[in-house]
Amino acid sequence: MSSTPDLPTVDREVDARGLNCPLPILRAKKALSDLTSGQVLKVVSTDPGSKRDFAAFAKQTGNALVAVEESASEWAYYLKRR
């Protein structure tokens, strides 16, 4: 995965590689509940549908999707706790 210099500092990371919808979202939801407002969660997924899912999840929950990293077969989502 490429490293981008303007990525936020991560407070917690969830590895959802190999999991299909809705498991990456469910893992993210659980992890976010353990964070305080303003903290950042990074979720790494290999599910191609996760890009659409995380955008919708962020919109529905009010947690900001602050960055997305994409490589050939992996996506990393950075969600800031509301």
Residue 21 appears among annotated catalytic residues: yes
User: So where are the chain's domains?
Assistant: 12-80
CATH class of 12-80: alpha beta
Residue 4 predicted with pLDDT over 60:
no
Find the catalytic residue in 21, 23, 65, 66.
21
Helix (H, G, I), strand (E, B) or coil at 12: strand
pLDDT in tens, 20-61: 999 999 999 999 999 999 999 999 999 999 999 999 999 999
Print burial letters for 9-23: b (CB count within 10 Å at least 16), e (below 16). eebeebebeebeeee
**DSSP code for 35:** S
